[in-house]
């Protein structure tokens, strides 16, 4: 690991204890962030579960079209994870051009995901769903839970796309290196990972 | 010098505190409930256990500050190092806490784990900013159902009962004071119309929050007649400090007269 | 740091495909009209499986030092497990609600 | 594994110009001082609020000067209204718990000292570090803004229980924008704390200089490191809680608001939420929070003590660190003891009660370590040590109250009485404050190159120590009589009898507050007139004392720092620097 750490060395070098994870600080920082962000998502999902358990009637509003849309979104996000991997691997063997190409693909897929997601939202809002209103007569909590949880996830996706754009630019200009790409990749995979819980809990559990 | 002063100050604080607790300078009022003695016993138990730890801790601290302050004593670790301390903590404190939690669970169970006596008298409490209202089922022994949309302080419909269409509600007796017969099991149902409140009667050794949206049952039996304060202990807004009602524990006959009087005033 | 030479890109694509298959299974399960509890349980199990694969391979924890796994995993699990203490009150809310 | 060459966290040469140097500085030392300054301002604000509240409790119809000017509606010509009392109480709790007790020992001293103590040139992410401070400041400004908006600060307490905090203006004065600003302020604080915790963890793990094995970290660093983990997980849950609360208020959702609430005869347009959910989520953070506050105090005291008793703590670094880890982990399992009477399932009360009692075991171990380390030591009673001993005494007294509040049966009588107020002021309030004072007197020479005045320091300690007991031990005792907390006036028959006790507490509290001005004066005066400090005025052994006072921009002037010993190499007058190759004297 020392090699890559040296790669990010600035003009000033001193001897230090090795990292217990043999991992540079950016990457470790991202892992620590992921731990806390996972807890944040967990708290949202627990609140949703609590609402649902406590509700006398809940109602399952999603028809197959929504589920299908959800599956497409899942596919898009998963493939974006794969393209992210490709970008990281390319950067690690020093193929800057292809790495940037894959980063672009990842951002594109991320944007498509966000687009599909917003389309879903507009559909629901058009049907009369609100944070505080359930047109199908079930618990009003559904709208609240759905828009909050998916909204938080959507925010993460959009932030991720923007972050990737910055990393890609910095990487192209040479002020960032492959370790930045890898760190960004970690975040992106985490967003994907969260979706693997959001999709079954928010969509499938509400399919009629 | 400073060490000696510190020792004296700590010792004084310890003694004064211990005195105030032992002499009951401020203490619990006499208990009037059946389950209360268990709780009092638990509190005394804890005073003993915790008190000993408190005195021991402060005195040893004071003693060491007294002995080794300024004095150029030869540096030594305590014999055996940290092991005896850890063993002490685990064994002594461990036993204490386990003992406390087992005995304590009995006292707690006496209040919450035992099903209410089937012959209990049912009373409904509605808490709101900043008053309690009490509802007795009346002759038919049935409570009318609640309709929050009907709640109206103006025409004194504090519970939102529908006296026009609801037969059960017609004879419900709503009062501003909680009167109960002595030595009779009571089952209270707590519900709040707006925010969180609490039902605290020191003499009953009962404190229970009202949770908006939920029916919270509590049951007890009062063993002494008298008039006691019910106060709110859950922050409920600007009138919190002044939210109170009275609990009158009456003899059976007095209670029946009181209830008749209330019924006539409906 | 340990780069992920251990797996070829094609095997990653395979993993991605595998995850997609699991999602497919989830959807199929959804339409088997299982009791809600059974459905929830099976969906969560599958989701955890997905998460495990994603963490181990996509985020290639498998090729990091084990100590990383043993730092982040217990920490997160810790919170998730103890948050479960809220469920008894969720059911209590269901049974004791003021307005039925 | 051999020490590896990695880059020290010097990202750029020392900045020039006032703004980069002192205002938007990325230097952890400046940021630490900024945090301490913020807390110092906050603590005096919070203290002023407590003064006003105490005066109102003892003399309900007193006209308090300036108060009428501060809030014409809340306190018409100085005569306080009940709602304004609650508003001040809320802000006292919020400011003290978050912006003083969480900020000062952890973010303040931690920022300044942790990188130096591990031999790093800066935090792992200096820009992130700077942003944490500025986000905290925004949070503080939002909190203070509630004083100037028309309907004043919220009155729902620092715990902001729903639905009182969630239903909006109809619930009472301050429940409109006051509560919104409060929520946003806490959201800011959460984000800042999460970023800070992340920074602390990575710095401790990845930026240790050669030879600084985990077993050689100073105990203060251990305290901050463990604390960072607890904050990381706890604030991660408070953040969504506050977001959901704000959504309930502004977005019309009903996470915490049940059906059929009627306030002022208006049926509320909410349905299906649960107040208990809020309490669970809040206390899931709230209980770890009190340990987030006390763990750095553990660390600071364990760091300061050996220097002045001239011997290592009993059990070295292992026992104390074990105690801190155990406390940190258990703190996540016990939150239900705040909810014994809240309508939570009574069976859960038992589930929460046992770990709450068990947490006394590691706490007792820590206390025993501090106390028995004094055995056959050479105690030097400088002010930092006095405050450390004060901390131990207060922590013992406070911990004892825990026995009563940890058991549902006894708590059901003492819950929401002044016993609780006394208890948490001892444990998390004043213990942490005393440890912070210890840290101030101990590290001030390092931070500003001048020693604080010893005489004033001693006066400050003796008065504070005695008066603290007068105020808060009395609260414990009146709690036994069932004195209900959060009352703006004592009107119940049994409360009226406690007015004399309250007058006593008020007088003591006012004096206690006045004493703190000695400290404030000492801090400011010593900054300019204090006696010049040597690099190592206390004869301590850790890295911060192995550099100039105050340290240069990159902490060690680019020297290669190599660590050979643990942090507690004391044996009477003999001591060995962590960086000195000389033989160990304490055999740690």
Taking an 8 Å cut-off on Cβ atoms, the answer to whether A25 and D206 are in contact is yes
pLDDT tens-digit readout, A113-168:
999 999 999 999 999 999 998 888 888 889 999 999 999 999 999 999 999 999 99
Cα–Cα distance measured from residue A96 to residue A174, given in angstroms and rounded to the nearest whole number: 10
Handedness of CA B125, B127, B130, B135 (dihedral sign): negative
Inter-chain CB proximity C92 and B214 less than 8 Å: yes
Domain locations along chain B: 2-112, 121-265
Q: What is the mean pLDDT of chain B?
A: 93
pLDDT at C53 over 80: yes
Closest CB from A1, A14, A46 relative to D209: A14
- pLDDT of C1 above 50: no
The minimum CA-CA distance between B34 and chain C, rounded to whole Å, is 26
- CA distances from residue B53 to A173, B67, B86, D363, D432 in whole angstroms, order as listed: 66, 21, 15, 13, 21
Report, as ranges of residue numbers, the positions in chain D whose pLDDT lies below 50: 1-11
The answer to whether the CB atoms of A89 and C4 lie below 8 A apart is yes
- Residue A198, pLDDT score: 96
Per-residue pLDDT, D19:
80
Question: Alpha helices, DSSP H only, in D248-274?
Answer: none
Average pLDDT, stretch A59-75?
92
Cβ atoms of A36 and D136 within 8 Å: the answer is no
Q: Per the CB < 8 Å rule, is C58 touching A189?
A: yes
In terms of residue numbers, what domain contains D386? 30-253+271-575
Geometric angle at alpha carbon C35, from C29 and C39, rounded to 5°:
40
User: Does any domain span residue D211?
Assistant: yes
Q: How far apart are CA D139 and CA D181, in angstroms?
A: 9
Backbone angles phi and psi of B25, in degrees to 5: -55, -45
Got the DSSP string for D316-361?
HHHHHHHHHHHHHHHTTS-GGGG-TTTT--HHHHHHHHHHHHHTHH
CATH topology assigned to domain B121-265: Immunoglobulin-like (2.60.40)
pLDDT number for residue A4: 38
Task: Write a three-state SS string for D32-72.
Answer: HHHHHHHHHHHHHHHHHHHHHHHHHHHCCCCCCCCHHHHCC
Where b means 16+ CB within 10 Å and e means fewer, D394-433 reads: bbbbbbbbbbbbbbbbbbbbbbbbbbbbbbbbbbbbbbbb
Residues paired with B135 in a beta bridge: B124, B174
Give the pLDDT confidence score for residue B1 in this predicted structure.
Answer: 82
Neighbours of A, requiring at least 3 CB pairs below 8 Å, are: C, D
Let me know if residue D580 belongs to a domain.
no
Q: How far apart are CA B92 and CA B46, in angstroms?
A: 14
Calpha distance B238→D453 (Å, rounded): 45
Residue ranges making up the domain that contains C67: 4-96
**Residue A29, domain extent:** 25-206
Asked if B213 is an interface residue toward chain C (Cβ–Cβ < 8 A), one would say: yes
Domains in chain A: how many in total? 1
pLDDT tier at C60 (50, 70, 90 boundaries)? confident
- The model's pTM is 0.95
C92 at D interface, C-beta within 8 A:
yes
Q: Which of C13, C72, C87 sits opposite A82 (nearest CB)?
A: C13
Work out the angle at residue A112's Cα, subtended by the Cα atoms of residues A111 and A117, and round it to the nearest 5 degrees. 95
Count of all residues that appear for chain B in the document: 266
pLDDT beneath 50: ranges in chain B:
none
DSSP per-residue codes, B204-215: GTEEEEE-TTB-
Q: Is C64 on the interface with A (CB under 8 A)?
A: yes
Q: Which of C44, C55, C100 has the CB atom closest to A193's CB atom?
A: C55
Report the alpha-carbon distance of residue B157 to residue B171 in Å, rounded: 14
Q: What average pLDDT does the structure give for chain A? A: 90
How many domains is chain C built from? 1
The CATH code of the domain that includes A31 is 1.20.120.80
D588 in a structural domain: no
Res C94 pLDDT > 90: no
**Range of lowest pLDDT (C20-29, C31-40, D241-250, D438-447):** C31-40
pLDDT score recorded for residue B71: 60
For chain A, positions 112-151, list CB contacts with chain D under 8 A. Answer: 130-132, 139-141, 143-144, 148
Which residue, among D341, D377, D328, D322, has the nearest Cα to B63 in the 3D structure? D377
pLDDT of D522 reads: 97
**Residue C2: pLDDT over 50:** no
Strand pairing report for D262-263 and B206-210? unpaired
**Rounded mean pLDDT, A66-95:** 94
Task: Tell me the residues of chain B between 198 and 217 that have a Cβ less than 8 Å away from chain D.
Answer: 198, 200, 202, 205-214, 216
List, in sequence order, every beta strand (DSSP E) within D501-579.
531-532, 570-571, 574-575
**Contact by Cβ (8 Å): B214, C95:** no
ipTM above 0.90, yes or no: yes
pLDDT the model gives residue B173:
94
pLDDT tens digits for range A124-138: 999 999 999 888 888
Q: Reading across the β-sheet that carries B216-221, which strands appear in turn?
A: B173-175, B131-136, B121-128, B185-192, B216-221
Number of inter-chain CB pairs under 8 A, B vs C: 17
Q: What CATH number should be reported for the domain holding residue D81?
A: 1.20.210.10
- Name, in order, each residue with C-beta under 8 angstroms of D510's C-beta and a sequence gap of 6 or more: D51, D54, D55
B35 reaches D (C-beta below 8 A): no
């Amino acid at each position: 690991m020392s090699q890559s750490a040296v790669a990010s060395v600035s003009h000033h070098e001193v001897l230090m204890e090795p990292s217990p994870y043999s991992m540079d600080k950016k990457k470790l920082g991202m892992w620590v962030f992921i731990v806390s962000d996972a807890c944040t998502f967990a708290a949202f999902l627990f609140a949703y579960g609590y609402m649902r358990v406590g509700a006398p009637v809940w109602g399952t509003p999603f028809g197959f079209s929504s589920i299908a849309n959800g599956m497409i979104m899942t596919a898009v996000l998963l493939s974006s994870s794969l393209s992210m991997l490709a970008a990281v691997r390319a950067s690690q063997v020093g193929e800057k051009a292809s790495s940037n190409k894959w980063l672009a693909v990842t951002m594109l897929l991320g944007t498509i995901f966000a687009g599909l997601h917003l389309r879903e939202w507009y559909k629901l809002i058009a049907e009369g769903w609100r944070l505080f209103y359930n047109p199908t007569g079930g618990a009003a909590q559904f709208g609240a839970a759905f828009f909050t949880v998916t909204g938080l996830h959507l925010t993460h996706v959009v932030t991720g796309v923007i972050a990737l754009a910055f990393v890609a630019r910095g990487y192209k200009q040479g002020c960032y290196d492959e370790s930045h790409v890898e760190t960004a990749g970690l975040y992106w995979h985490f967003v994907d990972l969260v979706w693997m819980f959001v999709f079954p809990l928010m969509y499938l559990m509400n399919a009629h | 010098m400073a060490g000696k002063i510190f020792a004296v100050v700590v010792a004084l604080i310890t003694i004064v505190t211990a005195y105030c607790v032992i002499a009951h300078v401020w203490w619990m009022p006499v208990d009037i409930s059946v389950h209360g003695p268990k709780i009092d016993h638990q509190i005394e138990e804890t005073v003993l256990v915790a008190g000993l730890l408190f005195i021991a801790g402060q005195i040893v601290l004071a003693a060491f500050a007294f002995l080794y302050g300024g004095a150029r004593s030869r540096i030594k670790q305590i014999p055996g190092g940290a092991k005896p301390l850890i063993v002490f903590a685990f064994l002594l404190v461990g036993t204490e806490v386990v003992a406390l939690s087992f005995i304590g669970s009995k006292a707690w169970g006496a209040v919450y784990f035992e099903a209410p006596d089937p012959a209990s008298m049912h009373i409904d409490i509605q808490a709101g900013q900043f008053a309690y209202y009490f509802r007795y089922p009346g002759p038919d022994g049935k409570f009318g159902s609640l309709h929050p949309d009907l709640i109206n302080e103006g025409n004194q419909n504090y519970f939102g009962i529908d006296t026009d269409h609801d037969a059960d509600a017609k004879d419900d007796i709503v009062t501003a004071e909680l009167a109960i017969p002595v030595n009779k099991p009571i089952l209270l149902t707590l519900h709040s119309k707006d925010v969180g409140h609490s039902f605290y009667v020191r003499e009953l050794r009962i404190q229970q929050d009202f949770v908006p949206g939920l029916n919270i049952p509590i049951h007890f039996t009062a063993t002494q007649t008298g008039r006691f304060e019910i106060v709110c202990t859950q922050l409920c807004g600007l009138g919190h400090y002044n939210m109170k009602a009275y609990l009158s524990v009456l003899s059976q006959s007095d209670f029946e007269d009181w209830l008749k009087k209330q019924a006539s005033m409906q | 740091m340990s780069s992920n030479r251990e797996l070829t890109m094609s095997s990653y694509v395979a993993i991605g495909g595998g995850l997609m298959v699991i999602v497919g299974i989830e959807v199929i399960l959804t339409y088997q009209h299982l009791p809600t509890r059974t459905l929830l349980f099976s969906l969560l199990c599958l989701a955890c499986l997905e998460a495990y694969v994603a963490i181990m391979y996509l985020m290639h924890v498998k090729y990091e030092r084990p100590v990383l796994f043993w730092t982040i995993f217990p920490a997160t699990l810790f919170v998730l497990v103890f948050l479960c203490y809220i469920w008894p009150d969720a059911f209590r809310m269901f049974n004791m609600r003021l307005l039925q | 594994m051999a020490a590896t060459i990695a880059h020290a966290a010097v990202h750029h040469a020392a900045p020039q110009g006032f703004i980069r140097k002192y205002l938007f500085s990325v230097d952890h030392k400046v940021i630490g001082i900024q945090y301490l300054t913020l807390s110092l301002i906050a603590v005096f604000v919070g203290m002023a609020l407590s003064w006003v509240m105490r005066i109102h409790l003892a003399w309900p119809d007193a006209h308090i000067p300036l108060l009428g000017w501060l809030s014409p509606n809340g306190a018409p010509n100085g005569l306080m209204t009940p709602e304004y009392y609650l508003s001040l109480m809320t802000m006292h709790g919020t400011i003290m718990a978050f912006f003083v007790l969480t900020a000062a020992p952890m973010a303040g001293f931690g920022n300044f000292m942790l990188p130096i103590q591990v031999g790093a040139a800066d935090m792992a992410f200096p820009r992130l570090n700077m942003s944490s401070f500025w986000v905290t400041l925004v949070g503080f400004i939002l909190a203070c803004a509630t004083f100037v908006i028309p309907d004043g600060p919220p009155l729902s307490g620092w715990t902001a229980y729903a639905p009182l905090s969630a239903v909006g203006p109809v619930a009472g004065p301050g429940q409109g924008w006051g509560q919104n600003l409060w929520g946003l302020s806490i959201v800011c604080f959460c984000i800042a704390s999460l970023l800070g915790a992340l920074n602390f963890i990575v710095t401790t793990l990845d930026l240790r200089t050669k030879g600084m094995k985990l077993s050689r970290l100073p105990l203060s660093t251990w305290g901050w490191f463990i604390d960072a983990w607890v904050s990381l997980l706890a604030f991660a849950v408070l953040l969504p809680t506050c977001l959901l609360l704000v959504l309930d208020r502004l977005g019309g959702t009903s996470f915490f608001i049940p059906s059929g609430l009627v306030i002022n005869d208006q049926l509320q347009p909410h349905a299906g939420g649960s107040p208990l959910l809020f309490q669970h989520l809040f206390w899931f953070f709230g209980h770890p929070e009190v340990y987030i506050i006390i763990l750095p105090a553990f660390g600071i005291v364990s760091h300061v003590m050996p220097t002045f008793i001239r011997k290592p703590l009993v059990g070295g670094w292992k026992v104390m660190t074990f105690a801190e880890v155990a406390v940190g982990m258990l703190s996540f399992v016990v939150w239900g003891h705040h909810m014994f009477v809240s309508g939570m399932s009574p069976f859960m009360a038992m589930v929460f009660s046992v770990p709450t009692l068990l947490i006394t075991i590691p706490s007792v171990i820590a206390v025993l370590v501090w106390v028995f380390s004094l055995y056959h030591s050479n105690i030097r009673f400088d002010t930092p040590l006095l405050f450390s001993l004060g901390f131990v005494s207060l922590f013992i007294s406070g911990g004892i109250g825990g026995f009563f509040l940890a058991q549902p049966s006894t708590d059901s009588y003492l819950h929401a009485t002044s016993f609780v107020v006394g208890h948490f002021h001892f444990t998390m309030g004043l213990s942490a404050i005393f440890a912070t004072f210890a840290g101030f007197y101990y590290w001030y020479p390092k931070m500003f190159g001048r020693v604080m005045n010893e005489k004033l320091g001693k006066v400050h300690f003796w008065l504070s120590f005695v008066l603290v007991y007068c105020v808060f031990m009395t609260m414990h005792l009146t709690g036994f009589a069932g004195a209900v907390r959060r009352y703006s006036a004592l009107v119940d028959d049994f409360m009226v009898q406690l007015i004399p006790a309250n007058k006593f507490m008020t007088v003591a509290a006012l004096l206690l507050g006045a004493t703190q001005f000695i400290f404030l004066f000492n801090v400011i005066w010593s900054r300019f007139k204090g006696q010049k400090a040597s690099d190592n005025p206390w004869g301590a052994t850790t890295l911060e004392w192995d550099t100039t006072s105050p340290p240069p921009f990159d902490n060690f002037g680019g020297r290669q720092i190599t660590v050979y010993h643990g942090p507690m190499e004391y044996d009477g007058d003999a001591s060995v620097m962590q960086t000195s190759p000389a033989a160990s004297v304490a055999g740690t």
